[in-house]
Structure 1
């Protein structure tokens, strides 16, 4: 009965979440259903297990949600994201429209701009480019996904994406875990995705497919409550805050627009590789600091310092382009709250499930998967991210339940925790892009296309390419170790 309860709770969570119900209510309800089938105390699981795990997630990662959303909003309102997109458009032009969209998305998201900020800026740019180039607008979502939601989210070393931060407390790693393997995986995702999109473009031209089609207004997507509920479980920005604040009409020069992104990457690297390793953090073992260690918090510290420094830099160089600074700051801060609590609720659901006796069956099945710990870790993160429609939620659930077990297995098999980190993050960013994923639904709404028109190409660039890259990382890591 316990396993049946887990399956029913998970099924109801997925079913109603896809229909736009709030995860803040669905997650505890689904957790209590699973606990009821197991005959476990309901209130204790809600207030102790569920809320304890959700609170721990917020304590670890809310600073990244907060500063990431704030940075994205200030980059948008200062005109920096639009300036970078315009620069790529001018340099590459309509003849290389797909490449321009992909690279613009990759630059801004790797530099720390929130996914949905990138969506709402890139979609109008892609619409104009694709129309001028005669490329079907149904390929817009796949091009934007490739640049914003694949290698810059899960593979490129040092990415400030929340998915890359989640394994750090579990494995004691940094944002630059397994950099060589991450670069190889990024090259595979980017190369495969561009090849597929070029192939799709050529096929459309041979079929004389028109480049024009009705496109939804961005405001319509922002105001869609179903889109909002789904979006906030997928990434760290609440779309409802997009149009709050005041966007600058005067765009900064490209050098100033790109400078905050450079600051994020460079300070992340300096903190991870030079500053924190030299820090005497023995005081963290004291009870007043939670009896933790630098390896458990250092990765988050590096990302937080990088984002904070970039925000200060951005405000300093763009002060005249931020006439409503307080409103922009408020909107950015508010944009972080619902996504953080939504993902924390998914994590709480996972904690209750992991605490049930029947979960031992699931754990034993996962660990019995052939191919070794790397393969079973990849399968676990894939499945949970697919079911929840959230890479961050699925990844945290998997590591909360199985992280210590994989660290033990890694020690037994001589596996570097950095390799576990990279496999887990890439694994979470594959099947999370199923049709109910919030980022997918939101992007289709922004672009004005449907699943029937655009989803197959999203599958190819976001799922197939990522799975190929994941397989390559597992094979190379198993053969040569971490590099």
Structure 2
């Protein structure tokens, strides 16, 4: 019965998200409905002490990133930089390669350390512009962005600084470059399968006579009065964000040490926070600020008269995207606290093969919680010792366990209630009904890649 309660809450939230209802409203309804069935007296305590605690904690950590990312993306649009980038990429690769162009730009940013959510804001303006120019349906754009930003550079490519590739290092005592051969094989699989699917869908739409479409929300504003800029200048802010993020990520821990503290009044109580929690976030925020300054420095004349209205649009988008994702985070925390969640973990532990056990466990928990990092943290926090013991008994290197866990976290995490999916659809102005089918196809590709890599390891022994 307790398992069915978890399942019902998950299915309900996926249903309302797919139907276009606000997750900000229905995530607490789904979570607290499950609590109500389990223990009615616990509802107010769980709501205030767990759901809201986790939701507000997420906003505390990440809302500045959402806000700065939204402003950065809007300025890229208003300055005309997005149009310049699109024109240059289309000229360089040809109109028929718009999809791979957007995938590669998203991959470059995420592998450079830019937050997945920031990439959505940054890539969308010129992605939409490119699709409009070459006549590809806008409804395919979220799946294209997902392939570039939410897949191989998030958890598969060796060395990626995304959190999904960092969490396993603390449990398996590995590095971000664990199992590089398996990572490269998985990357090749995801790219080949994902691009093949998206190109098939593009050709299918073209054959049916479907173009970019009309009546879309959150459209990129075209302004012919915006001067044309050099593509090198247009790309500069993106490069600044990527490089600055890498530099600050290295420098900030050295500046503050293990604990960052400050006191505005000498001798008064100092505010102290752990540097390892905030360093990566501060690095992204600082990088985005530099990126915004770079756009303003080179595109101020085009932006000046439109900054007030553009900034309001950016703030509105950041609020919606941030609260959507934060509400999802609170939902996942409540589901993980239910008795039925223990049933799920126990059932998964019974799978005999160590790698398949780990893969199914991690991707299942990521799907239930709607979060790759959340599901990965819960799985390894509860079962890492068991995974390690099983791997050692089977002679499997922990580097392989790291890579499989990381990849599996990015498998079924992108179900309809996933925060990144909701953010992506909110930013692009599309609905689950319009675009989720193609996002789910990329989700299946990511999930299949995990088992392809497991098979490759058992066949070759390479890692």
Q: Does the alignment reach a TM-score above 0.5?
A: yes
What residue number does 2:88 align with? 87
1:88 Cα deviation (Å)?
Answer: 0.7
1:246 Cα deviation (Å)?
Answer: 8.4
**SS of residue paired to 1:275:** helix
Distance 1:280 1:138 in 2: 45
Tell which deviates more after alignment, 2-11 or 395-404: 395-404
Distance 1:384 1:82 in 2: 40
1:255 Cα deviation (Å)?
Answer: 0.9
The answer as to 2:181 corresponding to 1:178 is no
Distance 1:148 1:259 in 2: 20
Distance 1:271 1:343 in 2: 26
**SS of residue paired to 2:339:** coil
Distance 2:144 2:258 in 1: 47
1:24 Cα deviation (Å)?
Answer: 1.5
What residue number does 1:345 align with? 327
The answer as to 2:334 corresponding to 1:358 is no
Count of aligned residue pairs for this structure pair? 437
Assess, with a 3 A threshold, how the Cα gap between structure 1 residues 193 and 258 changes in structure 2: closer, same or farther: same
What residue number does 2:236 align with? 259
Deviations 1:229-274 (A, max 9, x none): xxxxxxxxxx5xx6689897223211111111111221222233x4
What residue number does 1:226 align with? none
- Is the contact between residue 75 and residue 81 of structure 1 (CA under 8 Å) also seen in structure 2? yes
What residue number does 1:405 align with? 382
Assess, with a 3 A threshold, how the Cα gap between structure 1 residues 459 and 29 changes in structure 2: closer, same or farther: closer
1:459 Cα deviation (Å)?
Answer: 5.6
- Is the contact between residue 245 and residue 284 of structure 2 (CA under 8 Å) also seen in structure 1? yes
What residue number does 1:281 align with? 257
1:241-390 map, 5 Å: 249-272=226-249, 274-284=250-260, 292=274, 294-323=275-304, 324-372=306-354, 375-376=356-357, 378-384=359-365, 386=367
The answer as to 2:1 corresponding to 1:4 is no
Assess, with a 3 A threshold, how the Cα gap between structure 1 residues 476 and 289 changes in structure 2: closer, same or farther: farther
**SS of residue paired to 2:335:** helix
- Is the contact between residue 245 and residue 331 of structure 1 (CA under 8 Å) also seen in structure 2? no
**SS of residue paired to 2:227:** coil
**SS of residue paired to 1:322:** helix
1:143-158 map, 5 Å: 146-147=147-148, 149-155=150-156
What residue number does 1:210 align with? 207
Distance 1:432 1:282 in 2: 32
1:169 Cα deviation (Å)?
Answer: 7.3
Gaps of 5+ in 1: 223-238
- Is the contact between residue 3 and residue 340 of structure 2 (CA under 8 Å) also seen in structure 1? yes
**SS of residue paired to 1:221:** coil
1:467 aligned residue (447, 450, 456): 447
1:125 aligned residue (121, 130, 133): 130
Distance 1:368 1:288 in 2: 49
Distance 1:28 1:50 in 2: 7
What residue number does 1:50 align with? 51
1:46 Cα deviation (Å)?
Answer: 0.5
- Is the contact between residue 83 and residue 129 of structure 2 (CA under 8 Å) also seen in structure 1? no
- Is the contact between residue 13 and residue 30 of structure 1 (CA under 8 Å) also seen in structure 2? yes
Assess, with a 3 A threshold, how the Cα gap between structure 1 residues 455 and 245 changes in structure 2: closer, same or farther: closer
Deviations 1:172-223 (A, max 9, x none): 69xx933846555434322333455567788x79xxx737325422xx331x
**SS of residue paired to 2:51:** helix
Deviations 1:412-435 (A, max 9, x none): 668999987765554344335567
- Is the contact between residue 55 and residue 344 of structure 1 (CA under 8 Å) also seen in structure 2? yes
Distance 1:28 1:196 in 2: 35
1:68 Cα deviation (Å)?
Answer: 2.0
Distance 1:409 1:300 in 2: 31
**SS of residue paired to 1:296:** helix
Distance 2:12 2:377 in 1: 22
- Is the contact between residue 23 and residue 345 of structure 1 (CA under 8 Å) also seen in structure 2? yes
Distance 1:165 1:269 in 2: 14
Distance 2:64 2:220 in 1: 23
Deviations 1:405-460 (A, max 9, x none): 3555577668999987765554344335567854786799869x967xx956x665
Deviations 1:99-132 (A, max 9, x none): 445445555776755426634542452354358x
Distance 1:365 1:290 in 2: 42
- Is the contact between residue 216 and residue 446 of structure 1 (CA under 8 Å) also seen in structure 2? no
Distance 2:184 2:154 in 1: 12
Distance 1:387 1:189 in 2: 23
Tell which deviates more after alignment, 53-62 or 39-48: 53-62
Give the alignment's TM-score, normalised by structure 2.
Answer: 0.75
**SS of residue paired to 1:41:** helix
Assess, with a 3 A threshold, how the Cα gap between structure 1 residues 66 and 441 changes in structure 2: closer, same or farther: closer
- Is the contact between residue 75 and residue 314 of structure 1 (CA under 8 Å) also seen in structure 2? yes
